[in-house]
Amino acid sequence: MTQKSTCRDENLLTPGDVASRLRVSQRQIYNLVSTNGFPSPMKVGRQNRWREIDVANYLAQLAEAANPNVDPEAA
C-alpha cells in the first residue's frame, strides 16, 4: 500500500505566517501566487495553507538568485 503525505507529517502555514516570514503583506503573497512567483496554497476546508517546505524552498531559490556565485557547501 502506498503511503500518502498527511497534514500531521507537514507543517502548514497560514497566510499570516507566510507574510510574516517573507515580511510582506498577505495581499502581496497572493499577488506572487498569481504571477507564478510563489507556490500555490492548498485548501484545508475553506482556508488556504502553505507547506512550510514549499516556503523554505522558495526562500532558498531567492537566495540562490541573489547570490549565484556563492557555494552553499562552503559554509
Query: For the chain, which residues make up each domain, given as ranges?
Result: 11-65
Spelled out in words, what is the top-level CATH class assigned to the domain 11-65?
mainly alpha
Give the residue ranges of DSSP H helices in the chain. Answer: 15-22, 26-34, 52-66
Instruction: Convert the pLDDT of each residue in 39-64 to its tens digit.
Output: 999 999 999 999 999 999 999 999 99
Res 69: pLDDT: 78
Angle between helices 26-34 and 15-22 (to 10 degrees): 90
**Residue 51 to residue 55: CA distance in whole angstroms:** 7
What pLDDT is stored for residue 14 in this prediction? Answer: 97
pTM: 0.74
Torsion of CA 71, 17, 42, 60, to 10 degrees: 0
The strand pair at 47-51 and 12-13 is best described as antiparallel
